[in-house]
Structure 1
Amino acid sequence: MKKLSFLFLFVLTLVSCSMEKQPIAYGEDSCDFCKMTIVDQIHGAELLTDKGKVYKFDALECMLNFEAEMGKEKAGQFYTNHFLSPGELIRAEEASFLITENIPSPMGEFITAFPSQKEAEKVQAEKDGEVYTWGALKKQQNQ
């Protein structure tokens, strides 16, 4: 009986610590940085810590600001919604980002994600602005 109980607790621990993104409940979930309700399905974001805790944000800049203020916790994975398929979360590290005042965002920094640089540049041709990689965006935001 003890072995069965131990096995159950072990499996429960593994499941509860999984590194999985979670869907954002738009209109219900609140941003873990600014506390606003997350409603914009193009600009939402999500951060998973290296221990599997999930934080949700209404905009990329909230996620970046939150990461900068994290204490002992370490960020593990970053996800972002994107312009071409609202509500879908993609890996931020693989995305490209357009900053243009012609696409409003919830916190007013005008950062919009795209699944590829090619797609970001297509919209840039119409809406102006600057295209960034994830690394370049993080550097630009930390200045």
Structure 2
Amino acid sequence: MKIKWLVCFFVVVLLLQACGNKDYKPRDLVSETDVCKVCNMSIVHEEYAGQIALSNGDYEMFDDLGCLIEYMKNLNKKDIGKTFIKDEGRENWINVETASFVYDKDIWTPMSYGVIAFESKDVAQQYIVNEGKGKLLSYADLDTFEWGVHH
């Protein structure tokens, strides 16, 4: 009887450890069914898409970085596993919390937030130089940022 309880105890401990060490990865977009959680628009321009992997295993999808950030403001931090956004001009997903961002009122995004994401600060700064416009932002800046037409 003791062995049975001991085995059950170890199984429970292993299951609890597995729950605490989730490896959050971005999921592929499903253009036929994915809609933005905030504005309910279809995600037509996938190059601007964002997503949140929630700690419960669910995913929420967004058509614009601004929608993703607005949604995050209403979540408890413990409910967020990881957040992802598409890297400007590339197909890959990057971590929102480590990305660098560029804002300009004339940068087109699906919901007119005008903020685009880059994997590194250097690439974001190079974009500003090449385009001759834009303001460099960090993830911390997004919390208090006045989102153009949306503030």
Taking structure 2 as the reference length, the TM-score comes to: 0.74
Deviation at residue 134 of structure 1 after TM alignment: 1.0
Deviation at residue 58 of structure 1 after TM alignment: 0.2
The RMSD of aligned alpha carbons is 2.6
Structure 1 residues 79, 44: closer, same or farther in 2, change over 3 A? same
Aligned length: 131
- Structure 1 segments (4+ residues) deviating >4 Å: none
CA distance in structure 1 between the partners assigned to 2:146 and 2:93 by the alignment: 21
Deviation at residue 55 of structure 1 after TM alignment: 0.6
> Could you tell me which amino acid in structure 2 is paired with residue 43 of structure 1?
Y
2:116 matched to 1:112?
yes
Deviation at residue 100 of structure 1 after TM alignment: 1.4
Deviation at residue 127 of structure 1 after TM alignment: 4.1
Of 46, 49, 55, the residue aligned with 1:50 is: 55
Unaligned runs of 5+ in 2: 1-10
Deviation at residue 68 of structure 1 after TM alignment: 1.6
Unaligned runs of 5+ in 1: 1-6
Larger radius of gyration: 2
CA distance in structure 2 between the partners assigned to 1:93 and 1:28 by the alignment: 26
2:95 matched to 1:100?
no
Give secondary structure in 1 for the equivalent of 2:101. strand
- Structure 2 matches for 1:1-143, cutoff 5 A? 19-26=24-31, 28-70=33-75, 74-85=79-90, 87-125=91-129, 126-140=131-145
CA distance in structure 2 between the partners assigned to 1:27 and 1:108 by the alignment: 23
Identical columns (%): 22
Taking structure 1 as the reference length, the TM-score comes to: 0.77
> Could you tell me which amino acid in structure 2 is paired with residue 100 of structure 1?
D
Deviation at residue 111 of structure 1 after TM alignment: 0.7
